[in-house]
Chains A and B, each alone.
Chain A
Amino acid sequence: MIKFIDISKTFMVKKQEINALRHVSLDIHDGDIFGVIGFSGAGKSTLLRMVNALETPTEGIVEINGSDINKLSFNELRKVRKDIGMIFQQFNLLESKTVYDNIAIPLVLKRMSKADIEKRVSRLLEFVELSDKKNAYPAQLSGGQKQRVGIARALSTDPSILLCDEATSALDPETTDSILRLLEKINRELNITILIVTHEINVIQRICNQVAVMEQGNVVESGSVLSVFSKPEQGITKRFISTVMPDKIPDSVMEKLKQDIRHYKIIKMRFLGDNVDENVLYFINRHFAAETNMLFASVNELQKAVVGIFILQIIGDDTEIDKITTYISEHNIQWQEVKL
């Protein structure tokens, strides 16, 4: 369990204060894949680096499994750090060492015997599917392969927490996907709590179960990915989410609507989790004296659940439209009117 309690961080640069974090409080539970998203400079890395005390708060407390990390002696801190793996955007591998030696370093620091190191590194290489690159140097690897080495290195000491700072931001979409799958496997099979900071919303969408949105040092919104994605409150959150889950009427459709002189109402419906049920639409068309016209639809998978967004034009008189919206509400479907 990682607890950020009212964390603030102020940097002094040329006598000028930079408030990198302002009163941030977050709880990250064991087994979570917790994502922190925000634009560049929001304070994400600063927050992440507090977990292993690479950065210390100006105010507030960082608790790891119940103990204040900034109250530890340097030697105690080093022990805790060995229980927290970390991977980086730029991989930070030793260019002068082979893949094998890179992964072995944390174990050498633990004074593990050569034979035990050999065994562990071989297992890790298998886990990240790089056994054939054992003797290669980082310069001979692709970005995705380098990140796999970084991951194997971070896992070598059997940590209970893995910190990822923009771990996929230097990678192409396909490679990103394979790294995200690997992180998911790590969370599931090794039961490691993962904290990811990123500016890519699709990373959050793909693997996180919890999310916090940061803007200028503040956490402006947080909660389960399903709840935040299905009901974003803040402008920044809506902007992030709309890039992976579009919810706008396409321009060409909009043009036609403007010329539509009939009496109608446009509603946007969000089907959440497992209540996606196309029968509702079928039912509306069968049982109400109104014409419906689908203006936009998207269906997205989130956390193995489905989030559907439908924008429907209902053409008819007011009483009939009201009956339909009541019917939709009765089926626990969120909806709101869209004004042109």
Chain B
Amino acid sequence: MIDLGVPYSQILLAAEQTLYMVFISLAIGTFIAIVLSVILVLTNPSGILKNTVVYNLVNTGVNIIRSVPFIILMVFILPLTKMIVGTRVGTTAALVPLVIFIAPYLTRLFENSILEVNKGIIEAAQAMGASHFEIVWYFILPEARGSLILSVTTGTIGLIGATAMAGAIGAGGVGDLALTYGYERLNFPLMLFTVIVLIVFVQVIQSVGNYFSAKVRGH
């Protein structure tokens, strides 16, 4: 085997940390984003629960967070991180900024996915006597599912990029490995290796996303 200058166990650990950060923050972020995007679509001026106050509140909040670069966001919310997980550093601490970063991003993507749902279907749902919750649960979300999955895929790939920066607060991960060992110690083979690993991650995620999206679209 090629000598990468660091023990394989360390590489494995870094990969584990990246996956941990990506999937936990993705799970929480997706949940928040679903709720927020549904609120946005329902309360928007042509929505079925038109409400300017709520819409503007969520919309502006999403815009504000979206305009802060991740590295700054991470440092900016350190006190909040400390409050929630008890520490400012480490892999778990990185989850807080990652969630706050990804949730608004996914909210925008989901909002578009949901707006794509044929308005006629919502009208059919209303005509059937569906409640607002039922309209979301039985009509909007199933119809948007294929597109939502693609949005999650895009979000996941964005998250992988963000986790590399999370190294700045000692979160570890593949990106951090490349920076501290590969870049600072001029270990080119290691750097190349991490790049390949990241490319494989992204490719796999994209393929899995495409597969499931096509599958739930049912044809």
Q: Which A residues lie at the B interface, using CB under 8 A? A: 52, 54, 77-82, 84, 86, 88, 90, 92-98, 105-106, 108-109, 137, 139-140, 157, 163
In the bound complex, do residue B217 and residue A95 qualify as a contact, i.e. CB atoms below 8 Å apart? yes
Q: Answer whether residue B88 sits at the interface, using C-beta atoms and an 8 A cutoff.
A: no
Residue of A nearest to B139 (CB): A94
Q: Answer whether residue B131 sits at the interface, using C-beta atoms and an 8 A cutoff.
A: yes
Q: Give the residues from 74 to 129 in chain B that come closer than 8 angstroms, CB to CB, to chain A.
A: 118, 120-121, 123-124, 126-129
**B139-157, CB under 8 A of A: which get 1 and which 0?**
1001101100000000000
Given contacts A92-B121, A92-B123, A97-B142, contact A139 B129 (CB under 8 A): no
Residue of B nearest to A108 (CB): B138
Provide the bound-state CA to CA distance between A77 and B130, in Å: 10
In the assembled complex, how far is the CB of residue A38 from the closest CB belonging to chain B, in whole angstroms?
Answer: 21
Q: Answer whether residue B69 sits at the interface, using C-beta atoms and an 8 A cutoff.
A: no
Q: Which of A84, A86, A139 contacts B219 (CB 8 A)?
A: A139
Q: Which of B127, B134, B218 contacts A52 (CB 8 A)?
A: B127
In the bound complex, do residue B216 and residue A96 qualify as a contact, i.e. CB atoms below 8 Å apart? yes
Contacts of B124 in A (CB 8 A): 86, 88, 92
Contacts of B130 in A (CB 8 A): 78, 109
Q: Which of B120, B123, B128, B217 contacts A96 (CB 8 A)?
A: B217
Given contacts A88-B120, A108-B138, A137-B218, contact A81 B126 (CB under 8 A): yes
In the bound complex, do residue B218 and residue A54 qualify as a contact, i.e. CB atoms below 8 Å apart? no
Residue pairs across A and B with Cβ atoms less than 8 A apart, 22 shown, are A52-B127, A54-B123, A54-B126, A77-B129, A78-B131, A79-B129, A81-B127, A82-B128, A86-B127, A88-B120, A88-B124, A90-B118, A90-B120, A92-B121, A94-B142, A94-B143, A96-B142, A96-B145, A96-B216, A97-B218, A98-B218, A106-B129
In the assembled complex, how far is the CB of residue A22 from the closest CB belonging to chain B, in whole angstroms?
Answer: 24
In the assembled complex, how far is the CB of residue B117 from the closest CB belonging to chain A, in whole angstroms?
Answer: 10
Provide the bound-state CA to CA distance between A52 and B123, in Å: 11
Provide the bound-state CA to CA distance between A140 and B218, in Å: 10
Residue of A nearest to B118 (CB): A92
In the bound complex, do residue B118 and residue A105 qualify as a contact, i.e. CB atoms below 8 Å apart? no
Contacts of B127 in A (CB 8 A): 52, 54, 81, 84, 86, 163
In the assembled complex, how far is the CB of residue B54 from the closest CB belonging to chain A, in whole angstroms?
Answer: 19
Provide the bound-state CA to CA distance between A98 and B139, in Å: 13
In the bound complex, do residue B146 and residue A96 qualify as a contact, i.e. CB atoms below 8 Å apart? yes
Residue of A nearest to B142 (CB): A96
In the bound complex, do residue B138 and residue A109 qualify as a contact, i.e. CB atoms below 8 Å apart? yes
In the assembled complex, how far is the CB of residue B23 from the closest CB belonging to chain A, in whole angstroms?
Answer: 25
Contacts of A93 in B (CB 8 A): 121
Provide the bound-state CA to CA distance between A157 and B123, in Å: 17
In the bound complex, do residue B120 and residue A92 qualify as a contact, i.e. CB atoms below 8 Å apart? yes
In the bound complex, do residue B217 and residue A105 qualify as a contact, i.e. CB atoms below 8 Å apart? no
Residue of B nearest to A140 (CB): B219
Provide the bound-state CA to CA distance between A90 and B142, in Å: 19
Provide the bound-state CA to CA distance between A97 and B139, in Å: 10
Provide the bound-state CA to CA distance between A86 and B131, in Å: 17
Contacts of A92 in B (CB 8 A): 118, 120-121, 123-124
In the assembled complex, how far is the CB of residue A81 from the closest CB belonging to chain B, in whole angstroms?
Answer: 4
In the bound complex, do residue A137 and residue B219 qualify as a contact, i.e. CB atoms below 8 Å apart? yes
Most central of B126, B129, B146, B216 by chain A CB within 10 Å: B129
Contacts of A77 in B (CB 8 A): 129
Residue of A nearest to B135 (CB): A109
Contacts of A163 in B (CB 8 A): 127
Provide the bound-state CA to CA distance between A94 and B139, in Å: 7
Given contacts A92-B120, A92-B123, A96-B145, contact A109 B129 (CB under 8 A): yes
